[in-house]
Amino acid sequence: MSVKKMSAAESGGVSKRFGNEEYGDYILMPGDPQRIDTMAGQWDQGAKKLDFHRGYRAAVGRYQGAKIAAVSTGMGGPNLESPLHDFAAKGVHTFIRVGTTGAIQEHVNMGDIIINDACVRLDGTSKQYVRDEFPAAASFEVTMALVQAAEKLGFRYHVGTGCTTASFFAGQSRSCFNGYNRPYAELEMRELQQAQVLNYDMEGSALFTLARIFGVRAGMCASVIAHRITGEYFDDGGIERACLVGAEAVHILTDWDSQKRVRGKQYYVPSFSVSK
């Protein structure tokens, strides 16, 4: 009997799924493949776009001189797992999700940027990696870089906990088209609101948990396109603003990482900037 040889992707090695392009060390991860065009349009001239199997899209280029790349992850943790796994295996060390989100707090407005530094793990993917008590936490350096980027660009932003679900409708306490509604849905959202959770998304906790396990840095910014208290649903340009925040954060991290190398330090600390 002949045994089919496993591909690199199947065996957990470095797959060729995303080609042989030189992606650099920092990857932006939008969910929507169309956002690759938005991102590449904000970078320096000459960005190269790539299309892959199953609708994944990518771009490589430079932003204000810094090497940058973006890879779309599709919707949900299972779709994000493959690019995160493959690029971490290739040696990429920093991943920034640039997404959209639904706000659940009154003080958050449509179009605001939310920088999640941790997420409640209601995704399904991270549960298949590690016990529920393991935290879904962002890299403090990536989070700081996102905050600095939003400050520099003058965009309204919030920092805090998100909640990542494996479902857009029932999982985020929405009624379905036929009226199906979990009896405890409203209560679940109220519990999250009281616990100061800012927003719902569908990828954050999978990214943060798997990144920790793979030993790479991850962070996340998302624009508010839905408001669960007012019932609004639209994009006022927040998606473009979030893409810019992600690109600026890569520029900032590139600088911080080079300062760390010069000083022989593992972590960036704010006093580096003061003594520069």
> Residue numbers of the site for ligand URA (CB under 6 A)?
100-102, 168, 172, 200-202, 225-226
Rounded least distance, CB 227 to ligand URA, Å = 8
Helix spans in 197-237 (H): 204-214
Residue 215 and residue 220: Cα distance in Å, rounded?
17
- Looking at beta carbons only, is 83 or 102 nearer to ligand URA? 102
Residue 92 or 224 having the CB closest to ligand URA: 224
Q: Minimum distance from CB of 167 to ligand URA (Å)?
A: 9
48 bridge partner residues: 60
Nearer to ligand URA among residue 92 and residue 239 (C-beta): 239
* Structure token pair of residue 74: 């599709």
- Contact predicate 159/143, CB 8 Å: yes
Least distance (Å) between residue 75 CB and ligand URA? 8
Contact indicator for 28, 247 with CB cutoff of 8 Å: yes
Gyration radius of the chain's alpha carbons: 19
| Nearest CB to ligand URA, comparing residues 163 and 216 | 163
Shortest distance (Å) from residue 188 CB to ligand URA:
15
> Do 145 and 220 meet the contact criterion of CB atoms below 8 Å apart?
no
- What's the gap between Cα 123 and its chain centre? 14
Q: What is the closest distance, in whole angstroms, from the C-beta atom of residue 199 to ligand URA in the complex?
A: 8
Nearer of residues 215 and 231 to ligand URA, judged by Cβ? 231
Q: Which residue is nearest to ligand URA (CB)?
A: 102
Cβ contacts of 274 within 8 Å, gap of 6 or more = none
Largest CA distance in the chain: 67
